Structure 1
Amino acid sequence: MNLETSQAVFKFNINYNIFNEGTLALPIDLPGFVFRKARLAVTLLVEILANCVEQSKNKVQSGVEPVCLIDFWMQQLLKEIQESGSESHEVPHSSNIEIGGHLFDFLFAAQDASTSSLLWAVTLLAQNPDVLSKVRQEVSQIWSLDSGKLITAENLREMKYTEAVAREVMRYRAPATLVPHLAGEDFQLTESYTIPKGTMVFPSVFESAFQGFTEPERFDPDRNILGSVPVYKRNFLVFGADPHQCVGQRYALNHLVLFIAVFTSLLDFKRHRTDGCDDIVYVPTICPKDDCLVYLSKR
């Protein structure tokens, strides 16, 4: 990530923790309140990431080969700027600070949400040994460590049941339970109530996932296999919908499918169960109360 110095890393960690605390606080934007501290922390985080962008641009311009996602991004950006014949400041969305803001969004979405899904995947597989057995059977027919080969994108596409498990993990325990939206116009929600234009609305992604499904409280990957049961896409809002659909949807699903395939193939695991270990905690995405403590052993 080009955070070259330990001081920068320390500063980033401190401010990211402050930001996380702010997502759980009341939105009171006044001095001394957690929300204000979080908002200021975001500014510092974006500045640190903007510095990473600047370093990456300089490295790419000097002819050093790209080694990370930012480098490849900057390489393509600088190529487009050069081909356009424009100055870098004239090209939209190319400033260091704006790219730093996008990187912050990527980090928050990728780190917190993905971590939540990984924890719940292990938790739910431990609770459902029949599902775990089916996953292992499917993966073993497509890939094995002994093959000496990496899992390819084609392999992932063949893991239909494992993907169904990944989708059910996200439905059953949606990482981001609330996604704020601003009403762009008056919206009639019910016969008796219309949401006024300009209202901040917090639809519950979590609750919607338990509506419109047969036995929604049951963890059932089969519901996500096309042709087996009706799939209620309008209630599966983990990644949003229509123009607001998450651009990282396919990446997130592939990441979770890959994790499940590798984790279940290489390791045996047993949950360290305690009272309330499966309770939901908000950090700000949701995780098991015990952070999913498991005993691991090589298969």
Structure 2
Amino acid sequence: MECILAILPQYTPYVITLVALIFLVEQISYLKRKRFLPGPTLVLPFIGNAISLVTNPTKFWDNQSSLAKSTPLGISTNYIIGKFIVYIYSTELSHKVFANVRPDAFHLVGHPFGKKLFGEHNLIYMFGQDHKDLRRHIAPNFTSKALATYTWIQQRIILKHLKSWLQKADGKSIPLRILCRDMNLETSQTVFVGPYLSSEARDRFNVDYNYFNVGLMKLPIDLPGFAFRNARLAVQRLVDTLTVCAEESEKKMQNGDEPTCLIDFWMQENLRCKAKIAEKEGNGNDSDYLKGFNYDHKELGGHLFDFLFAAQDASTSSLLWVIALLDSHPHVLEKVRSEVARYWNPESDDELIAAEKLREMKFTEAVAREVVRIRAPATMVPHIANQDFPLTDNYVIPKGTIVFPSVFDSSFQGFTEPDRFDPDRFMEERQEDRLYKRNFLAFGAGAHQCVGQRYAINHLMLFIAMFSTLMDFKRDRVDGCDDIAYVPTIVPKDDCKVFLSQRGKRFPSLV
């Protein structure tokens, strides 16, 4: 040991030289890709600015936005874990990225290290005919009939959780982020796979989803004991659980039962397509056009997880901002309560809001859309450049770059007084949703635009209607409580702490 220690100093200059060389090569590579765009001049080898991203993501992305906004092009740069990144403030350039998701341009990744978590065959990584076929096959899951079925499920679970929130509050303020997340997880589970999850399976599911959620915000260290590894393994278990649900649904739909959840509607369509394939093959006809609609249970389990991820955290973010924004805008809250009262009386025997009545609540829908606009849950939609791509006349995005179109920044472009919470902008008189449609990117654009956005808006509307009607609430305000925190979607910094009490004489019973 003493001999080794004696020799080591002889190699110190070589080690220092090697480290310096690595730093220099990586620095030159970064500056070559950065060119004239704003961004840090010096970056650490390999990790770049990953530490500042993980420790304070709000500050990190605010800085990227400010740098991009300060230039005519609306672009800024950085470097994270060996990856050169480009942040896009400009709405038009964001649309250019969304419109060019194809093998020789951009590939949607959803999360900088998402492929390691979600696997290669996730819906968001598909493009071309396979992606078109899958979206066509998903469509029956969001028909009016299907959405009406989900509406009853959503309301029962919302009521159940609101009642439990009142019990937890008991005169003191409570943070709602985890409570909203738990409510949404139960909603997603029940809407998507309904009766096929036992209580024991739900408990395991909740634990695994928490592992996944924690791992999303950690460095991608895929080693035992690290949160990222726990998240990756949890995803595999979650998909396995959902695969079993698909198998059980198929048995039920083969018996001719009515669909009661999303997987039933999907399996009903899957069985219909299988029958057509068998018929055409039996007649010797070409059935290739149908084969894109025939999925095995494992594939369906994976796609169900995609839905769960898309619905879960984004919805939690929006529900929290609903509460924060209604609390700070009492005139909007009163307009919501007045409208809901015309269509739903919780103290009557008609305990739930019918789907056709929900469609009549135009101001409540305007509030939901304005919440999503002013606080877009997923603020950015990461893509990766598969090839060098000419983004502008004088800047080519290098192959391998992770590109972050900012849907959050786009939401503040074009609209009248964009920083103001103003649901009336979405009403028929003003129609800003049509005038500035290109700037409303919270649900994406192009081929990968969110297929479940009507479901998401319905869920937000139901929560707004029920929470406003059944609850009196007041924020437990402190300085900075409405600042944005990333978890990974954006939420109020204080996790939305509120005082709650029951409003009205009667709380609807569950049905």
The TM tier, using the shorter chain, reads 0.7 to 0.9
Matched, 1:53 2:246: yes
Contact 1:19 1:41 survives alignment (8 Å): yes
Contact 2:382 2:403 survives alignment (8 Å): yes
Give matches, 1:197-236, under 5 Å: 197-228=399-430, 230=432, 231-236=435-440
Q: Give deviations 1:222-276, integer Å, cap 9, x for gaps.
A: 2223442644222211100122210011111122122212222232222222343
The alpha carbon displacement at 1:95 in A equals 0.9
Distance in 1, matches of 2:322 and 2:381, equals 22
Q: Give deviations 1:125-172, integer Å, cap 9, x for gaps.
A: 011001111222222234333564443333233222221111110111
Q: Give deviations 1:197-244, integer Å, cap 9, x for gaps.
A: 553312122222222233322211122234426442222111001222
1:280 is aligned to 484
Give matches, 1:100-111, under 5 Å: 100-111=301-312
Matched, 1:175 2:368: no
Distance in 2, matches of 1:242 and 1:91, equals 24
Matched, 1:13 2:206: yes
Q: Which one-letter code corresponds to 2:364 in the other structure?
A: T
Give matches, 1:56-95, under 5 Å: 56-61=249-254, 66-85=259-278, 91-92=291-292, 93-95=294-296
The change in CA–CA distance for 1:3 and 1:147 in structure 2 (over 3 A counts) is closer
Deviates more, 1:59-68 or 1:285-294: 59-68
The change in CA–CA distance for 1:221 and 1:13 in structure 2 (over 3 A counts) is same
Matched, 1:258 2:462: yes
Distance in 2, matches of 1:247 and 1:259, equals 21
RMSD: 2.7
Give matches, 1:189-204, under 5 Å: 189-204=391-406
Distance in 2, matches of 1:147 and 1:13, equals 35
Out of 347, 351, 355, the residue aligned to residue 153 of structure 1 is 355
Distance in 1, matches of 2:343 and 2:455, equals 20
Contact 2:469 2:503 survives alignment (8 Å): no
The alpha carbon displacement at 1:188 in A equals 3.2
The alpha carbon displacement at 1:120 in A equals 1.0
The change in CA–CA distance for 1:14 and 1:145 in structure 2 (over 3 A counts) is closer
Distance in 1, matches of 2:478 and 2:236, equals 40
2:317 is aligned to 116
1:134 is aligned to 335
Distance in 2, matches of 1:187 and 1:147, equals 60
The change in CA–CA distance for 1:265 and 1:14 in structure 2 (over 3 A counts) is closer
Distance in 2, matches of 1:161 and 1:60, equals 38
The alpha carbon displacement at 1:186 in A equals 4.2
The change in CA–CA distance for 1:37 and 1:227 in structure 2 (over 3 A counts) is same
Matched, 1:40 2:230: no
Q: Which one-letter code corresponds to 1:3 in the other structure?
A: L
Distance in 2, matches of 1:117 and 1:13, equals 20
What SS does the corresponding residue of 1:85 show, helix, strand or coil? helix
Distance in 2, matches of 1:276 and 1:122, equals 16
Out of 162, 181, 185, the residue aligned to residue 364 of structure 2 is 162
Distance in 2, matches of 1:166 and 1:100, equals 30
Contact 1:270 1:296 survives alignment (8 Å): no
The alpha carbon displacement at 1:10 in A equals 3.8
The change in CA–CA distance for 1:69 and 1:229 in structure 2 (over 3 A counts) is closer
Q: Give deviations 1:74-101, integer Å, cap 9, x for gaps.
A: 23322332343279xx954411111001
Larger relative contact order (Cα-Cα within 8 Å, sequence gap ≥ 6)? 2
Q: Which one-letter code corresponds to 1:19 in the other structure?
A: F
Distance in 2, matches of 1:64 and 1:228, equals 45
The change in CA–CA distance for 1:196 and 1:29 in structure 2 (over 3 A counts) is farther
Distance in 2, matches of 1:146 and 1:84, equals 51
Distance in 1, matches of 2:387 and 2:358, equals 41
Contact 1:277 1:289 survives alignment (8 Å): yes
Q: Which one-letter code corresponds to 1:271 in the other structure?
A: R
> TM-score, normalising length from structure 1?
0.86
- Unmatched tracts of structure 1, length 5 or more: none
1:239 is aligned to 443
Q: Give deviations 1:54-73, integer Å, cap 9, x for gaps.
A: 22223444566654332343
- Provide the aligned length of Structure 1 versus Structure 2: 296
Matched, 1:248 2:441: no
Distance in 2, matches of 1:256 and 1:282, equals 20
Q: Which one-letter code corresponds to 2:248 in the other structure?
A: Q
Q: Which one-letter code corresponds to 2:312 in the other structure?
A: Q
